[in-house]
Structure 1
Amino acid sequence: MKMDHQVIVIGGGAAGLYATAGLARLGVDVAVINADANMGGDCLHYGCVPSKTLLHMAQETTDWTEIQAKMRAVIAEIQVHDSVPRFEELGATVYIGKARFLDAHRIVVGDRELRAKKFVIATGSRPRVPNVAGLDISMYETNETLFQMAKLPRKMAIIGAGPVGLELGQALQNIGVDITIFDHNTEFLKHFSRDIADIALEKLDLAIHLDSELIEVTRLNKDEISLKITESGVEKTLVVEKILFAAGQIANIDTLELERAGIAYDTKIDTNRYLQTTTPHIYAIGDVIKSPSLTHAGGAEARTALTNITFGNFSKVNYSTLASVIYTKPEIYQLPSTQKAARILSASGANIDRFKTDNEPEALVKIGIDAKAKIVHAEAIGTDISTVMQQVALLKSTGAKLTDLSKPIYPYPTKSEILKNISDQLLTEKLEKPFLQRLIRKIIQWRGLS
């Protein structure tokens, strides 16, 4: 069977473009397929880039038109890196259209049939909109439509208190929108320790209602809708102008006809640690697989997949240093692990001079270690804390000990000194052991310093 390409990547979002660029640079005959000419995917157009621009601009202005102009400018600047001409210059072939499988080696894009030796599925995800009685499209926004709104509502309900809901909720509230957030979980930030979650709840200063479910929506007039909500089993109503759904994503796999290629899936695609699907020459990465739906996770998966496609299956994706960040003010950081820590050490901003000068005594860093003082997991909350905490992920990736954080000389005053504080706690404990104390006293006596 003659192949049109050796590898075809389906999806021109962050993960798909990473894989395409890597394969093209290695000299692989690769093509990428995207639904339209605006490549870059959710992250560039509806997610990371516009939302972080909004978060930044919301601290400088309340002018929605000015904010939108800045978002468009930033997207356009980054779009050059993700553009069709750039990928053609790299040596990749770009096809525009939606793809579906005919069998394990053939796909159709529009009315064109393409054949390849290997495939990478990277079609991303879209916002989940629940089935709610009375709901119609005029009543709600998602992250795919919010940034294009001509005018912001005066009052908005956000469904979902995860990263998207919290980030957009805080930014919109800062520019004058009356925000109320509802979440089905009974605990706020349930995957975080309670002290981190409690600090976040206080400092974010958002109206957040837990154990809540939207059950019905009614149009009152041209501008307003009434929400019927249950909160801890009690029915309540709230009048707003718009709903923003921020309660998860749906993998874009429903039109791919995966069964024709022998690919197993349910809500997402099944893969092994090499990122192969149940059809071994077809790989899948990003939001379509059962891994954290994070842009940097997709990048790591793309690197693993392109390595295995090019050199054979020897690289396994490793999520042990995959951190997640909620980019609110303050930022909320987590480097998770399924391994249980032997102990957890912590330090607060109240003990670090730079946090004092910045009026952030509530900032908190927690690091879990094993019996050998190697890093297991970490959590933190504080302004720009994600930049500080990446040192911890680096140490974990190398297998270094927590006490290695005491080795560098830290500029004063910096927030990163909070890591040295935690490391120094462990060093001090070691120095205070009776044997070392006796040895130190003898050395001092011998040197005539006592």
Structure 2
Amino acid sequence: MAERIKTDVCIIGAGSGGLSVAAGAVQMGASVVLLEGHKMGGDCLNYGCVPSKALLHAGKSGMGWAEAHDHVRNTIATIEPHDSVERFEGLGVRVITENGQFISENEVQAGEHVIEARRFVISTGSSPFVPPIPGIENVPYETNETIFEMKEQPEHLLIVGGGPIGMEMAQAHRRLGCEVTVIEGMKALGRDDPEMAAQVLKALRDEGIAIEEDAMAAEVRGKAGEIEVEAKDGRIFKGTHLLMAVGRKPNTDKLNLDAAGIEPTRGGIKVDESLRTTNRKVYAIGDVAGGLQFTHVAGYHAGVIIRSMLFGLPSKQRTDHIPWATYTSPEMAQIGLTEAQAKDAHGNKMEVARFDFAGNDRAIATQQTNGLIKVMIVKGRPVGVSIVGPNAGEMINLWALALANRLKMGQIAAMVAPYPTMAEVSKRAAGAYFSPRLFDNPWVKRIVGLVQKVLP
């Protein structure tokens, strides 16, 4: 006989978004059941953000292969308690370590438990997508879910996919002593501003990483230690190991969405601006909601739905203020519109303020002058910012604050940054926007001249 449980909120998936909802809801007085059939912490802790950044650090720090992978495991182990069953049970959450599937519009079954809830949250995330390339089923390959467990150092790693995951893993493994070839069907880092991406790609090539573009994989063949990827144009790339890094697919297969009247989409689950599905009792957040696939987006989604679920207040998601970063060296960060997107959206009303890191004294002193910031501005407000250079992922935070609160460039220019810091780059970009208005404006000079004549 299945145990029946009634609760205020039932969350399916204990990744970043699900854990944020669970912790917030239970501490505000709601009863919460959390279902997780695999690992607490989800992809981010176990296979994504945490191990990838740890491996990048290991490569940059000069660690050897074994030491690097020990560092990855120790990093995960240090963070694990924060996401653990024990911590959430301590907060008052009922944690059930089973997958959940809908059996009706307001019931989910998880193992021997049937949970009836006022509200459900689907936060099941996504998994690596492996395209049906002929021969792939006969060749051993890695994904982000397996590569951090590799005990053997690859002699030559082939990476299919030139997006952020592929490029981060390329640089990490190159710095750990592997030969690396990236095979990209279109343009590497093709979703980013081309001017910024070009700086990253040059740096990676300078480190000895082969980046082959317009090389759509047509066939994979070979065996462990002897793998070939043939592109549609006939180019053949040979290596010892293969990493597939071509994208993600939503984790919806086990949910039985039809039973709950929830409409899926190609990218996940159909949601409205409030992140509600076609079943108004059910929300979907994070990767499975079909939008931007970042851990911080899942956390942001959690805040959006908590306002609605717990307080009954209107709450809608935005996307214009969501930043993201690629953690190669140099780093690349973006928020809002790229230059091309801003031109398409705003035409001649859009201006671009630029500042090169070579003009920053801290960058000169620390030999980190290869970098650039571009701010896209409409009517005095930033609508997008692109940064490439050291610590770009940290520097984008100021602009995330600005776009989230719709600040004007004058408010950025009014900031006083300590000298010498890399943060001055953002202030100087704001200065680049105002300089022609002040120094190249004949009216300003006339007014100053008149004022000087009448001042005592």
Q: After TM superposition, list the pairs within 5 Å mapping 1:84-99 onto structure 2.
A: 84-99=85-100
- For residue 265 of structure 2, give the secondary structure of its aligned residue in structure 1: coil
What's the CA shift string for 1:176-227, capped at 9, x where partnerless? Answer: 1111111122x3333333321221221222321122222222225x521222
**Distance in structure 1 (CA, Å) of the matches to 2:221 and 2:435:** 62
Q: After TM superposition, list the pairs within 5 Å mapping 1:19-418 onto structure 2.
A: 19-36=21-38, 38-136=39-137, 139-185=140-186, 187-205=187-205, 206-219=209-222, 222-230=224-232, 234-267=233-266, 268-337=268-337, 340=345, 342-371=350-379, 373-418=380-425
Counterpart amino acid of residue 363 in structure 2: F
**Distance in structure 1 (CA, Å) of the matches to 2:195 and 2:225:** 40
Matched with 2:6 is 4
Displacement after TM superposition at 1:111 (Å): 3.1
Matched with 2:445 is 437
CA RMSD across the alignment: 1.6
What's the CA shift string for 1:222-265, capped at 9, x where partnerless? Answer: 521222222xxx21212211110111111110111101100001
Counterpart amino acid of residue 285 in structure 2: I
- For residue 136 of structure 1, give the secondary structure of its aligned residue in structure 2: helix
Any stretches of 5+ residues in structure 1 without a counterpart?
Answer: none
> 2:250, 2:290 within 8 Å by CA — same for their partners in 1?
no
**Distance in structure 1 (CA, Å) of the matches to 2:244 and 2:188:** 17
> 1:274, 1:313 within 8 Å by CA — same for their partners in 2?
no
TM-score after normalising by structure 1: 0.94
- For residue 141 of structure 1, give the secondary structure of its aligned residue in structure 2: coil
> 1:331, 1:382 within 8 Å by CA — same for their partners in 2?
yes
> 1:404, 1:423 within 8 Å by CA — same for their partners in 2?
no
Segment of structure 1 superposing worse, 424-433 or 107-116 = 424-433
**Distance in structure 2 (CA, Å) of the matches to 1:18 and 1:112:** 23
> 1:274, 1:317 within 8 Å by CA — same for their partners in 2?
yes
**Distance in structure 1 (CA, Å) of the matches to 2:21 and 2:452:** 61
Any stretches of 5+ residues in structure 2 without a counterpart?
Answer: none
Displacement after TM superposition at 1:301 (Å): 0.6
> 1:355, 1:363 within 8 Å by CA — same for their partners in 2?
no
What's the CA shift string for 1:26-53, capped at 9, x where partnerless? Answer: 11011100013x3000000000000001
Displacement after TM superposition at 1:106 (Å): 1.2
- For residue 235 of structure 1, give the secondary structure of its aligned residue in structure 2: coil
- For residue 335 of structure 1, give the secondary structure of its aligned residue in structure 2: strand
Displacement after TM superposition at 1:313 (Å): 4.7
Displacement after TM superposition at 1:377 (Å): 0.3
TM-score after normalising by structure 2: 0.93
**Distance in structure 2 (CA, Å) of the matches to 1:138 and 1:11:** 31
1:226/1:430 CA distance change after superposition, 3 Å: closer
Displacement after TM superposition at 1:62 (Å): 3.8
Displacement after TM superposition at 1:3 (Å): 5.6
Segment of structure 1 superposing worse, 119-128 or 401-410 = 401-410
**Distance in structure 1 (CA, Å) of the matches to 2:178 and 2:430:** 43
Q: How many residues align?
A: 440
